[in-house]
Amino acid sequence: MIVQQKSFLLKSVSLVSQLLVVLLLIYTSQSGAVTILEDFEDGNNNTPYYWAVATAPGCSAIFEADSGAGYGGSIYAGHGNYYVLQNNNYASFVGMNFYNSFGGDGIIFYARGNGIWHISVITTEINPGNDPAPYVKIKIDSLWRPYYLRWQDFSYPPSAVNRPEIIPSHIHSLTFNPQRQQAGKSEDFWLDDIGYFSADSASPNDIDGDGIPNENDWDADNDGWFNILEKFAGCDSLNSNSYPASEVGLPSTGAYTGIFPIMYWGDEVLDFERLTGLKSALMTLYIGGWGDTLNFYHFDRAGCDFIARNGAIPVYQWPIINSTIDRQKFWLSIMDSTYLLQDIIEGDFDAELTTFAIEVKEWKIPIILNPAIEYNQGFVPYHGIANFGPRGRSIPPRSLMGEIGNSWIGDSLIAYCDTVPAESISNYYGDPNVPDGPERLRDALLHIKSVFNSVGADNIIWTMQAHPIVDPAHCGSWTNLSNYYSDGYVDWHSISAHHGVINDTLRTLSYIITACYDSLLMLNPTKPIIAIEFAVHSDSTGIMDMTDIFLNDFADEFPNNFPMVKGWTYVNSDLYGTNYENVGLQIDSSRYSGEINAFCSVAQNPYYIKEPILFPNSSKMETKQSELNSVKLECYPNPSTYVVNIKYSIGIVCRVELKIYNVTGQLVKTLINEKQAAGNYVVNWNGEDNCGKNLSTGVYFVKLKTGGFEQINKLILLR
């Protein structure tokens, strides 16, 4: 039996209490050690470490040590409480005077509370007044439990310029920052037994020393893949040679579920999951831009870590804009030259892009990367409207700007921008048959992708997000999607899908996106579409019940009208006080139970895929010519307790039959019986038979028949 170390510094603790805590820290399988620095046992939070609160003016908070029972029945624990008076304000619970106290492989603390928190460390190399601190984003539960965070789990915010390595002995302060920032919210937070741990050398990421990968370990074999994602791919979470391929599979039928929390990882995610019971396979992370006037931002690893640890793939919104520009003055935003497309094409940002690309590559996990949000309608610097002329700083003439040329928008653009002659909109750059503005964005995106390819960042799904208004009368015929598009850049199409009450008129999803959907499929019908901004708006008061719209979307629109939409992320926020405050986007308990129940029905509907389809690295298919006519069939995970991913490949156009049989040879489920094109497919089976009844535990056979080829795999269901 291995007893982990526990040391008390400058504390007066009864022998009984010490024995109790030691017993709580007994482990039998590993030789890691824990050293506790702060235990709050005497109710004194002034020595040897000092605890305080820091708040914005619109938030109040307290922190005290004399607060009742702590972890494991100890007498005291640190207790914090905060109350948000104004939207978007915050409180921080800060521990100081930790100089030379920390060591080992990471921090351990015991806590209970609720919501998403940022845990930050400040070292002597960081100036808190200027330098953003490295942090980890985690969910804290309502029950006492230990939280193990490796020093390597801490990462800097994208805007941080000073990014020194974390030296444990140089840590002098900790901050615990709640992310719930809505006015009227109040929360309690308890903290006890803060210290550091030394992981076992044989399994350095089995940090809690129990020999079992679990939520305390995150990445038990230290291969850069979180345990939950390895499980989805059927990989061994304790074997560093067993890990998923850096690709995401697509269901032959169905669509991934997802969430787009506009408040940048406030507690919308937890509230949404709690109310709907709906797990997200995709989660959108919005970054304000490439950087500011002085700095090119880094990859947001902490945000993506949080998404991946929760079993989802990040959709990384990364617009080519200066994040500090006032986008309300849209003509100034359009003409901002910080990240000019022509400069990108000429390689002026290759060094910064290379650094960013290496950071994404080293993250390993697949990511959907979108540098061009609403490129055909966004009124942003990379929009084609602003990239005409010799250096891409001009706009087309009023006569070619469609409806906007006859509006105040056109007047503003004419007042602030240079205008090229109508006969010259295609003559200053590239192909004389393609308008220069869209062509520059197309080539800039190709150049960006080439930089990422040069460092081997192959874990990226590249997309560009279309605004659904594609009527040439609106912006002019020059802004046709085909002018922006390149097969060499786009892996997945993407689209905005805001509907419901728009401009005081109730509009369906079909009304909003059909024209754009058809246009994208005309560009390349084999590429899937993701609705990155899928949102249902209420009326201007925010009180209109949108249940029927949701039900129609989920039961009819997506399955029947838009089968190539293979995923969506629901825009879930009221933006807390901005111009979206009354549109009723947020799915919360203050709105209608029917809206919530619509999402609950999605959670039960097998058409909607709640876990990303990932493949074992060893099974990644090579597209060699010699293999094109062979049949490939894989089932994973196997054995399976819930959803089985059935992956197959066919080399020719043929009729495909994919069926499930029981051990007596009886047909229990037909999954596919249709003609299909050559390619790779993934079908999800939830263990139900043709009547919708759950099958019992046992052995089943998956039979794939394609033309003259046939293959059978054995599958075990555990129920």
Kindly write down the DSSP assignment for every residue of 432-475, as one continuous string: TTS-HHHHHHHHHHHHHHHHHHHTT--SEEE--EEPS---HHHH
The band of 415, judged by pLDDT with boundaries at 50, 70 and 90, is: confident
Q: State how far the Cα of 212 lies from the Cα of 232, in Å rounded to an integer.
A: 17
Q: Any residues with CB less than 8 A from the CB of 605 and at least 6 apart, and which?
A: 554
Residue 551 CB-density burial (10 A; 0-12 exposed, 13-18 middle, 19+ buried)? middle
Residue 195 has pLDDT above 70, yes or no: yes
> Lowest-pLDDT range, 342-346, 541-545, 603-607?
541-545
CA 536 to chain centre: 20
CA 672 to chain centre: 31
User: What is the average per-residue pLDDT within 292-301?
Assistant: 96
User: Using one digit for the tens of pLDDT, what is the confidence trace for 633-647?
Assistant: 888 888 888 889 899
> Lowest-pLDDT range, 347-351, 539-543, 574-578?
574-578
Q: Do residues 462 and 449 lie in contact, with contact meaning Cβ atoms separated by under 8 Å? A: yes
Q: What does DSSP say about strands 106-112 and 145-150: parallel, antiparallel, or unpaired?
A: antiparallel
Q: What is the mean pLDDT of the chain?
A: 85
- C-alpha angle 153-154-160 in degrees, rounded to nearest 5: 145
Q: Do residues 467 and 376 lie in contact, with contact meaning Cβ atoms separated by under 8 Å? A: yes
CA separation, residue 575 to residues 273, 290, 496, 630 (Å):
18, 22, 18, 52
pLDDT for residue 407: 86
pLDDT for residue 118: 93
Residue 626 has pLDDT above 70, yes or no: no
Secondary structure letter of residue 558 according to DSSP: I
Residue type, 74: S
User: What is the average per-residue pLDDT within 579-595?
Assistant: 79
Closest CA to 89 of 59, 63, 110, 68: 59
Residue 115 has pLDDT above 60, yes or no: yes
Q: State how far the Cα of 26 lies from the Cα of 352, in Å rounded to an integer.
A: 48
The band of 12, judged by pLDDT with boundaries at 50, 70 and 90, is: very low
pTM over 0.75: yes
> Lowest-pLDDT range, 8-17, 176-185, 219-228, 445-454?
8-17
Q: Any residues with CB less than 8 A from the CB of 624 and at least 6 apart, and which?
A: none
User: What is the average per-residue pLDDT within 397-418?
Assistant: 86
Residue 30 has pLDDT above 50, yes or no: no
Q: State how far the Cα of 533 lies from the Cα of 495, in Å rounded to an integer.
A: 7
Residue 87 has pLDDT above 70, yes or no: yes
Percent of the chain residues topping a pLDDT of 90: 54
Q: What does DSSP say about strands 460-462 and 418-419: parallel, antiparallel, or unpaired?
A: unpaired
More confident residue, 222 or 3: 222
Listing DSSP states for 181-230 in one string gives --TT-EEEEEEEEEEEEE--TTSTT-TTSSSS--TTTSSTT-SSS-HHHH
pLDDT for residue 20: 34
Q: Do residues 440 and 387 lie in contact, with contact meaning Cβ atoms separated by under 8 Å? A: yes
pLDDT for residue 711: 80
Q: Is 174 helix (H, G, I), strand (E, B) or coil?
A: strand
Q: Do residues 281 and 610 lie in contact, with contact meaning Cβ atoms separated by under 8 Å? A: yes
pLDDT for residue 2: 26
- C-alpha angle 202-206-207 in degrees, rounded to nearest 5: 110
CA 434, 439, 442, 447: dihedral to nearest 10 degrees? 120
pLDDT for residue 629: 44
Neighbouring CB atoms inside 10 A of 75's CB total: 17
Neighbouring CB atoms inside 10 A of 488's CB total: 11
Residue 13 has pLDDT above 50, yes or no: no
Residue 4 has pLDDT above 80, yes or no: no
Q: State how far the Cα of 314 lies from the Cα of 284, in Å rounded to an integer.
A: 6
User: Using one digit for the tens of pLDDT, what is the confidence trace for 469-478?
Assistant: 999 898 888 9
Q: Any residues with CB less than 8 A from the CB of 494 and at least 6 apart, and which?
A: 370, 463, 464, 465, 466, 529, 530, 531, 532
Q: Which residue has the tokens 């004194």?
A: 44
The band of 16, judged by pLDDT with boundaries at 50, 70 and 90, is: very low
Residue 710 has pLDDT above 90, yes or no: no
Residue 588 has pLDDT above 60, yes or no: yes
Q: State how far the Cα of 282 lies from the Cα of 299, in Å rounded to an integer.
A: 18
Residue 669 has pLDDT above 70, yes or no: yes
Residue 25 has pLDDT above 90, yes or no: no
Highest mean pLDDT among 158-172, 470-484, 655-669: 158-172
pLDDT for residue 493: 97
pLDDT for residue 707: 64
Highest mean pLDDT among 71-85, 119-133, 185-199, 584-598: 119-133
pLDDT for residue 311: 95
For residue 189 the two structure tokens come to: 């937070």
User: Using one digit for the tens of pLDDT, what is the confidence trace for 497-525?
Assistant: 999 998 889 999 999 999 999 999 999 99
Q: Any residues with CB less than 8 A from the CB of 409 and at least 6 apart, and which?
A: 330, 379
pLDDT for residue 200: 67
Residue 623 has pLDDT above 60, yes or no: no
Residues forming beta bridges with residue 495, ordered by sequence position: 466, 531
pLDDT for residue 327: 66
Q: State how far the Cα of 380 lies from the Cα of 49, in Å rounded to an integer.
A: 49
Q: Do residues 494 and 509 lie in contact, with contact meaning Cβ atoms separated by under 8 Å? A: no
Q: Do residues 23 and 71 lie in contact, with contact meaning Cβ atoms separated by under 8 Å? A: no
For residue 611 the two structure tokens come to: 């876990």
